[in-house]
A and B are shown apart, each in its own frame.
Chain A
Amino acid sequence: MDRRKSLKSIVLGSVAGGLALHGCNPGEGPKEELSVAKAEGIKWMTAEENKLMDELQAEQFFNPHELATLTVLCDLILPGDGGFKSASDAEAVPFIEFMVKDVPEMQVDFRGGLMWLDHRSNTDFGKEFIAAGPEQQKRLLDEIAFYDPEVPQLERPFGVNFFSTVRNLTLTGFYTSKLGIEELGYQGNMPNVWNGVPQDVLDQHGVSYDPQWLAKCVDQSQRNVVAEWDDQGNLIT
């Protein structure tokens, strides 16, 4: 039975089979997830897309221990201090949980990576990663957090690639959240009138507009006047 099918069986009620594969604590995680899995759907998605979405949302991939480990890891990557919000404040972990179901190719590396981390922590400190102290956790991360970009990715050690994936998804999860977009300062995704790069930005980057080019561009004060042309195609309004 493949994993996706086994997880589906948890949703459909054959809990025992699922747990045997899962090895997680009964009564946690999956049940909670079941209660939020509802068929309402996402308004703007097609029925087919919503059907898949419901299936994905109804599955639970990470067990409670894995979720707890991932939360610690994500918050080491983007901690919540010094006025910043943390990765978990921005719900980066539920996002990662969703993505490993949406892209099942990531599942083995994630599950194995979290166990690998516990193994290293057990070996060095005699306790699992989440039970280790922050300094111990960072000591472990220091071994895998940096990479040589000149070495092809496939040739880098597993731990390094695992951490890179967690870092990538943590950053995406954070900066595509409401909190992250605010922190980044992105000003778009709302109606406005584009009228060129502000002068202080032009100055900062050492570029300027060519007046001849600007002369061709839209006069935003006339944007609501219906366009008319002469016979030569010259705009006259």
Chain B
Amino acid sequence: MQIKENTTLYDAIIVGSGAGGGMATKILSEAGLKVAVVEAGPFFDPTDPEQKTQLRWPYESPRRGAGTRRPFGDFDSAYGGWEIEGEPYTFKDGTKFDWFRSHMLGGRTNHWGRISLRFGPDDFKHKSVDGHGEDWPISYQDVAPYYDKVDKLIGVFGSKEDLRNDPDGYFLPPPKPRLHELFYIKGAKKSGVPVYPSRLSMLTKRINNDRGVCFYCGQCSRGCQVHADFSSGTCLIFPAQKNGGQVDLFVNCMVREVTTDAEGRATGVSYISKDDRKEYKLKGKVVVLGASACSSARILLNSKSPQHPNGLGNSSDAVGRYLHDSTGADMMAFVPDLMNRKTSYNEDGVGGMHVYSPWWGDNSKLDFPRGYHIEVWGGMGMPSYGFGFNVNEFNKFFGTKVGGYGDILRSDAKKYYGAIVGLSGRGESIALKDNYCEIDPNTVDQWGIPVLRFHYKWSDNERKQAKHMQDTFDEILTNMGGEVIGNKPGADQDFGLHTPGRIIHEVGTTRMGDDPRTSVTNKFQQLHDADNVFIVDAGPFSSQADKNCTWTILALSWRASDYIVDQFKKQNL
């Protein structure tokens, strides 16, 4: 059977509907372009009772929210996970990379942590600071106006602190700290670690008349029915449709490759419909890839043609290379001073921490480059699967018996409820050419599309950083009067450093640069090898920073989209 070709010629075909694809959809369609959005998963709207998990009780799930199916629990709004049936990926040379995919409208923005940090001036030029990795071809000054616009469009709470490498923005006011966060502030200050109000994209204050205001259920990971947090569907794609944009949504459509003509320019995409398992084609003047750093690299590498024998945009051989995830390590402690809490009030708060510590260290005095920020968790959360496990193990700190049965367990459960505090470090790794994804020549997924094979190893830079995290957390938690839970991981366990991919900040696979021999896109995220193909996910990131990547994806996608509109106006596309 022939491939079915849609006769519509779109101005732009946008692949993926997460942060990057969503922003491109909004900017391009509102500029009058006719766009197609091709999303591998189903339509999703957190307001729809058929999909809404917000404000559901644990007993509405037979597994009480356990993570047996969805990795972050039954109520988490991510359709997908580390493993997706029928869509494998493989590894090379005994290395490992855990790849998280969320196939649904809005992608991973539906469940993410909403930590919305700007990269700072150093983050764009870090090679010039410490010699590692590569500088970006753009600077903070290039991106700052777009960060400003993103702040005002989407909304982020925070506080103006005038920190050199953690730039301020247009903030909504932050929520007051919770009880355990007050303990953290005390403990961190004692160790000279500064603490500030966190910066998260939830609306603590009205930002426009279309979206609601946060009602503090602490469940942003489930998606918000009043659209008071950022997700790509609710804040970008739905408003674009509402504003009269010409947006055709193609859901359950898995893009296979970008099609090209005899000149090597893109003509559109081919995709597999998951509904009928047939192959289709869409025609577009411009193709905008926002499928996720690794998925976009996969699409490019699978788009081979006589003009692009090494895969589209891959004359540099850099597609898939320089893949890097944030570093991550965690520690938790039992804090006796947080025992016997009154449950007289609701402290759900926003869906994340109310306070955090941006990187404070001086790397010139440390044995590793780049830093990390500290996230804080704890509190009297809603009981879910796992609640009451080892209910009175902390009795060991008081010399009383552990275990038992009967009503004593009830008082133990209440005595220790909310007395655990956890710290997580999320830091910057150095992008390395030898950490990459490529096409596995031996494996296809159930759609017949060749899959990715990963090769990724942490270096001592990341291990030393993780050690610093563990030592710092140990000290802060001890300052809080806490008893660390579990053994502190040593060198034999890479100091608790998570497997690459686990922090779900995949970036760098189509990095930007001025030199087409060493980079995939130019500074407007346009392929060096095909001027009508753009990449708006985190693939073009030259480096990651110790910040979460979403706010920068949004700012850069807006910037690239403005450039696309400008090029259309100049008739260059």
Which residues of A approach B to under 8 Å, CB–CB?
42-46, 49, 52-53, 56-57, 76-79, 81-82, 84, 95, 98-99, 102-103, 138, 141, 145-150, 160, 163-164, 167-168, 170-178, 180-181, 183-198, 200-202, 204-210, 213-214, 216-219, 222-227, 229, 233-235
Contacts and interface: CB of A to CB of B under 8 A. Distances in A.
Given A76-B406, A95-B64, A233-B171, A176 B347 contact: no
Contact of A167 (B52, B346, B391, B407): B391
Contact of B345 (A81, A102, A197): A197
Contact of A175 (B174, B396, B413): B413
Which of A197, A208, A210 is packed against the most chain B CB atoms within 10 Å? A197
Contact of B383 (A57, A95, A176): A176
Interface string B107-118: 000000000000
B366 interface: no
B348 interface: yes
Nearest to B226: A191
A146 B401 contact: yes
A168 to B, nearest CB: 4
A74 B291 CA distance: 48
Leading 4 A-B pairs by shortest Cβ distance: A171-B388, A185-B343, A196-B176, A176-B58
A52 B343 contact: no
Given A102-B66, A145-B404, A172-B387, A223 B204 contact: yes
A53 B62 contact: yes
Nearest to A166: B405
Contact of B216 (A46, A147, A192, A200): A192
Nearest to A216: B159
B388 A168 contact: yes
B341 A148 contact: no
B205 A192 contact: no
Bin chain B's interface residue count: 35 or more
Nearest to B152: A229
A186 B175 contact: no
30 contacts: A42-B60, A44-B53, A53-B62, A78-B407, A95-B64, A145-B403, A147-B402, A149-B402, A164-B390, A168-B389, A171-B388, A176-B59, A176-B65, A178-B57, A187-B345, A188-B380, A190-B217, A193-B215, A194-B347, A198-B344, A201-B179, A204-B342, A207-B182, A213-B177, A216-B159, A216-B197, A218-B204, A219-B173, A225-B205, A226-B209
A99 to B, nearest CB: 7
A175 B405 contact: no
Which of B49, B178, B402, B405 is packed against the most chain A CB atoms within 10 Å? B405
Main secondary structure of the interface of B (DSSP, over half): loop
A110 B216 CA distance: 40
A44 B51 contact: yes
Which of B59, B66, B384 is packed against the most chain A CB atoms within 10 Å? B59
A175 B403 contact: no
A102 B385 CA distance: 13
Contact of B64 (A79, A103, A173, A196): A173
Which of A49, A147, A170, A196 is packed against the most chain B CB atoms within 10 Å? A196
Given A76-B406, A223-B205, A200 B49 contact: no
Given A164-B403, A201-B179, A217-B174, A190 B69 contact: no
Given A197-B179, A207-B179, A218 B62 contact: no
A77 B58 CA distance: 21
B172 A235 contact: yes
B160 A233 contact: yes
Interface of B: 42, 49-53, 55-66, 68-69, 74, 79, 148, 152, 155, 157, 159-160, 168-179, 182-183, 185-186, 197, 204-209, 213, 215-219, 337-338, 341-350, 380-391, 393, 396, 401-407, 409-410, 413-414, 417
Given A184-B383, A189-B382, A213-B177, A222 B205 contact: yes
Nearest to A141: B405
Contacts of A99: 63, 66
B414 A184 contact: yes
A172 B64 contact: yes
Nearest to B64: A176
B213 A223 contact: yes
B205 A218 contact: yes
B482 to A, nearest CB: 13
A214 B177 CA distance: 9
Contacts of B347: 188, 194, 197
Given A99-B66, A148-B402, A192-B346, A183 B410 contact: yes
A218 B174 contact: yes
B63 A217 contact: no
Contacts of A226: 206-209
Contacts of B177: 196-197, 209, 213
Given A171-B391, A188-B217, A197 B401 contact: no
B383 A186 contact: yes
B485 to A, nearest CB: 11
B405 A216 contact: no
A218 B254 CA distance: 43
Contacts of B417: 184
A79 B407 contact: yes
Contacts of B380: 186, 188
A132 B18 CA distance: 60
Nearest to B342: A201
A53 B66 CA distance: 13
B49 to A, nearest CB: 7
B157 A218 contact: yes
A172 B337 contact: no
Contacts of A138: 405
B56 A44 contact: yes
B50 A44 contact: yes
B174 to A, nearest CB: 6
Contacts of A202: 179, 182
